[in-house]
Amino acid sequence: MGFGLIVIGDEILSGRREDKHMRRAIELLAARGLALDWAEYVGDERARITATLRRTFAGNDVVFCTGGIGATPDDHTRQCAAAALGVPLELHPDAREQIALRIAETAAGDPAKADLNVPENQHRFKMGEFPAGARIIPNSYNRIPGFSVADHHFMPGFPVMAWPMMEWVLDTCYSHLFHQAVQVERSFLVFEAPESTLTPLMERVEAAFEGVRVFSLPSVGDAKRGELYARRHIDLGVKGLADLVEPAYAMLREGVRAMGFELVEVAARRPGDPAGD
């Protein structure tokens, strides 16, 4: 079982809005000893959303899906989830209750606005129509819930709503997976070294330590990050379980030194920690 993220919305793909969900998902998972395994961006196109969900429903991953669960013409996620599962949409009774409470709160004592039978309020109940058999995800911001089906969890695109909902799902449904294995990263900067020269060493390290992954992040130089990073370099390192990373890192570091390349070690980090200098 891995963890995945689907971000839905034309506004992300067009650049009108910048996605912030992936960074936050990485942080929330890392704080619990977990990691994000994959992420996808999908526009507001029903056929594509449905095909994506049909594929991910067939897998075993925990999937967080943000965006498109409202009741405007460009919101398709609820309908697509139902289509992918081959089930109808139904007004969830708990969702109806929460939406009704929200209507009463926003009416502020005005009986006309609080009338659940007026067309505007009837339309609001559309936001509580979820695939048959779904469970609700509480929304601490405005009561309008998200929903879960199996290990897929659907929430609004607004970070102020989505992020607490994501935390609630993790802490309520997956606490048994927290901190089962500590993942760490160790890396160093190698200067003026061709990747092709380093590749055989990287392959030897991975072969020697099953479960450890070697990564290579080349840069032509970035003076904005400081003098150390201004020169052409490769951020070369390993990531995996803590007890395997240290010997794998040592093998990688000593192998580079034996080749005669200049290197500078950087601080160890855990996946999800912000990149530092």
**Residue ranges of domains in the chain, CATH in brackets:** 3-177 (3.40.980.10), 183-265 (3.30.70)
Query: Which distant-in-sequence residues (6+ apart) come within 8 Å of 163 by Cβ?
Result: 21, 24, 28
Give residue 218's Cα distance to chain centre: 25
> What value does the mean pLDDT take over residues 142-157?
96
Q: Measured between alpha carbons, how far is 232 from 219 in angstroms, rounded to an integer?
A: 6
Which H or E run includes 41?
Answer: strand 38-42
- Predicted pLDDT of residue 228: 77
What percentage of the chain's residues is helix, strand, coil (to nearest 5)? 45, 20, 35
Residues 171-201 have pLDDT tens digits of 999 999 998 877 889 999 999 999 999 999 9
**Which of these, 260, 213, 264, lies nearest to 240 by C-alpha position?**
213
The pLDDT mean for the chain works out to 93
Q: Please give the model's pTM, rounded to 2 decimal places.
A: 0.84
> What value does the mean pLDDT take over residues 86-108?
95
Amino acid at 115: D
On the question of pLDDT at 124 being above 70, the answer is yes
